[in-house]
Amino acid sequence: MRTRPPKTAVLVAQRIVADISREHKAPGDRLPPEHQMLADYGVGRGTLRESLRILEIQGVLTLKPGPGGGPIIRRPDSSSLETTLTLLLQFEQAPYRAIAESRLGIEPLLAQLAATRMSPELLAELTDSVTVMREGIDDQSVFLETNKQFHSLVAAGSGNALLNSTIEALLNLLDGSAIGVDYPEKRRIAVVEAHQAILDALTAQDPLEAEASMRRHIDEYFHYLTQTHPEALERPIVWQDF
């Protein structure tokens, strides 16, 4: 079966990104004016604007209207991947169980990598997150925010851009709060102790213990969901949950 060739607008969008990289442009820099881009890429106004719109959707550009406006470069974040993954899971009719099971495979590996790759600055932020969670243990909103921060920092500390981006894209669903999972004080205390054990292993730069501590933490999380929120595990993932 023959595959359809990429649209011209997609090819031009790819050329624009290649030129941004080649010219070492940074977030906040402007692209050339429209008349110059039309000449540079040899396409019509409609195709160029479609290309820019594609890049805007992907988080590569911001299109500023009006005089002095135009396309401004930005750094893509995980929001586009977040939407794509959620929509993919929704069309597959995947339950939340898919997220919970994925954590068992991804996060212990991230902790193992972070044990030897995490910078002192990230480790200091991780230490602070555990302290804030412990001191604010009575406040579930503080708990949820620092919980996300902890797992985000471990992912960043792994030095693996692909796995880090995946976790960042899923942060809003990882703790289950978006689908009604709650955390009574006893559970919050257990989580902060698990975070402390992971932090201790990362501080000691012990990959095996970091991996084991994270695996125990995610195993306990999965067991908690199974025992207290079995209906949440089977709830279909939908875009508006994000």
State the pTM of this model.
0.81
Q: Are 117 and 202 in contact (CB under 8 A)?
A: no
Whether CATH 1.10.10.10 fits 79-241: no
Range picked from 62-76, 146-160, 167-181 for highest mean pLDDT: 146-160
Could you please report the per-residue DSSP string of 180-222? T----HHHHHHHHHHHHHHHHHHHTT-HHHHHHHHHHHHHHHH
DSSP helix/strand/coil, 121? helix
Apex CA 189: angle with CA 78 and CA 115, to 5°? 50
Burial of 111 (0-12, 13-18, 19+ CB in 10 A): buried
pLDDT number for residue 3: 55
- Mean pLDDT calculated for residue range 37-64: 93
Q: What is the mean pLDDT of the chain?
A: 91
pLDDT number for residue 67: 74
**Close Cβ partners of 162 (under 8 Å, ≥ 6 residues apart):** none
Q: Answer yes or no: is pLDDT of 178 > 80.
A: no
CATH class of 8-73: mainly alpha
Q: Answer yes or no: is pLDDT of 4 > 70.
A: no
How does residue 230 score in pLDDT terms, banded at 50, 70 and 90? very high
- Mean pLDDT calculated for residue range 172-199: 89
Domain span(s) for CATH 1.10.10.10 in the chain: 8-73
Domain span(s) for CATH 1.20.120.530 in the chain: 79-241
Apex CA 44: angle with CA 63 and CA 26, to 5°? 35
CB atoms within 10 A of CB 88: 11
Q: What share of the chain has pLDDT > 90, as a percent?
A: 72
Q: Answer yes or no: is pLDDT of 242 > 70.
A: no
pLDDT number for residue 1: 44
Q: Answer yes or no: is pLDDT of 47 > 60.
A: yes
Query: Considering Cα of 112, then 113, then 114, then 117, what sign does the dihedral take?
Result: positive
